[in-house]
Amino acid sequence: MATRKKKSPPSVTWLRRLRQRLTSRMACFVWGAIFGNAILSQPIQPLNLILEPPENMLSAASREWLDTLRAGIRSLSTSFTGAAVDVLREQATDFIPPASAPAAPPAPSATAAHGEFAACYDQFPAQRPLQVSAISTQWAPLALCSDAFAVLYSGLTKTPMVVVEKLSRARLQKAAGIERTDQFYADTRIPAAWRAALGDYQGSGFDRGHLSAAANQPSSTAMAQSFALSNMVPQDPTHNRKLWSKLESDTRKYALRAAGNVYVFSGPLHEGNTQTVGRSAVWIPSHLFKLVYDETGQRAWAYVLPNRADAQITRPMDYASFVQRTRWSLLDGLPVTGSLR
């Protein structure tokens, strides 16, 4: 006779799970109530949670502690955010390739004949401006035209690479009657990521050194344009106010005596370790140069001076020596038959 298999009793696993969940949730509620009543000014009541703001249920000591905690968190957040921004800015300056910066806005009146300097090609010898396309994109080059000078600007250094101006007796006679303005400003023609700000120079210990001198400007508009930071480099104050000022004055004296136009190229050199000023990381030049070209006399000479207070004006170098020293062939294709005697 066959035997029947006994049915196994129903599983109680679900009962066990339900009991565990209820127990754990009840424990959380109990401990929460104990902790809450310890810091609250009154026992937890459901109606209080609806009618009263949560902070009103805290005791005075607990509210004071909470306010202190919040103030500490805000202070820490502000400090961390400021430090993080500084670090990110420095890292961006150090590690982001200049080629990844926003594209330079094209000159609105550019032509095939004169390239990006079409609006100020007459500031260059033989009306042959520099070719921005020949400059490595690592420098983030940009052409800027003003009424009385032209700037080949670098979005990497946040300074000019070369500033060119055409001096003549007539121009300098006009400039003698123009009042200096001293109204420095950031050049908004330049993309924000590429330009220097006024705050970069504040407290830096460096002057905002002109490359096209204010005293060379033949009109009020040109004078105002010369105070754009796109015409400035961080310059040692003594160097700027004594040595560089004397070079500018000597060049004007020569141009007043010259038979024709005298073209002046001024710019910075960056040798050795790069140092910067300000949040925008404006590069501090190690040296400054000034190349003078007498178009009529076909003569050129130059000075390359350390950007230091103890620098001295030395005997000018000829054009070939200047090119070898700086690697700037600024008079390429132009006749140069002599130097300053």
Residues labelled as active-site residues: 210
CB environment 31-40: b (16+ within 10 A), e (fewer): eeeeeeeeeb
In angstroms, rounded to a whole number, what is the distance separating the alpha carbons of residues 230 and 188?
9
In the block, which residue shows the tokens 């754990």?
Answer: 24
In angstroms, rounded to a whole number, what is the distance separating the alpha carbons of residues 208 and 247?
17
In angstroms, rounded to a whole number, what is the distance separating the alpha carbons of residues 305 and 75?
47
Torsion on CA atoms 293, 308, 156, 329, rounded to nearest 10: 20
Residues 6+ away with beta carbon under 8 Å from 149: 120, 123, 163, 164, 165, 212, 216, 222, 225, 226, 231
Amino acid at 198: L
**165 in Cβ contact with 123 (< 8 Å):** yes
**172 in Cβ contact with 256 (< 8 Å):** yes
Amino acid at 321: S
Three-class SS of residue 123?
helix
CA angle 143, 146, 147 (to 5 degrees): 145
In angstroms, rounded to a whole number, what is the distance separating the alpha carbons of residues 273 and 306?
14
